[in-house]
Amino acid sequence: MLDCANWAPTHGKTEPWRFVVLRSRESMDEVNEIKKGYMESSMLDKPKELASFREKHAKKSKELSNVSAMLIIVVKRLTNSKGNLMPEWEEVAAVSCAVQNMHLALTTRWQEAYGGYWSSGGWNSWLECPAMKAYCGADGVVNGEADKVLGIFYLGKSRVEKMNAYRAKRGDIQDKVEWK
């Protein structure tokens, strides 16, 4: 998967994708605690939202026991060979392509019951908090532009029948293409 990610297109040849792979329960719990700490501190004056978050967080924490690994997805801001930063949208697009390549590689193992998904939950929130950025080495700044944490890719193994029930569906491609 990671080898496939490394072959994503990269305008400016900056290869801005970085992945922090969490394989141990302790590492996953550390990230879960960063999330909890940030979210709770941001909701101290919103008791209903805080109670709702705590309930959802407890449920999600239990679900983490089914996760084999987590890959934190980072956009590392780097200059190209001419010393210039590429536009941020191009670097985000390159990292997104890297994640797509990982996802496609993973789907080749579907019948062996390996699955995963990219969650951007927390984008521009706890994933961008200083503690999380420091944890995954996404705390750099180049020419005033900061690294970004785009999400987490969750990996696991399940029964194929269960995975099939969650598998995304797509509409007909002909409804999305105009031929001229």
Average pLDDT over residues 105-129: 91
Q: Between residues 37 and 122, which one has the greater pLDDT?
A: 37
Long-range contacts of 157-166 (CB under 8 A, 24+ apart): 157/68, 157/113, 157/114, 157/115, 158/66, 158/113, 158/115, 159/113, 160/110, 160/111, 160/113, 163/110, 163/113, 163/115
For the chain, the domains span: 2-168
* Helices and strands counted in the chain (H then E): 6, 6
| Whole-number average pLDDT of the chain | 94
Return the CATH number of the domain spanning residue range 2-168: 3.40.109.10
0.85 surpassed by pTM? yes
Residue 166 burial by Cβ neighbours in a 10 Å radius (0-12, 13-18, 19+): exposed
Note the helical H segments in 108-178.
130-135, 160-166
Determine phi and psi for 12, rounding to 5 degrees.
Answer: 90, 0
**pLDDT (tens digit per residue) in 51-65:** 999 999 999 888 888
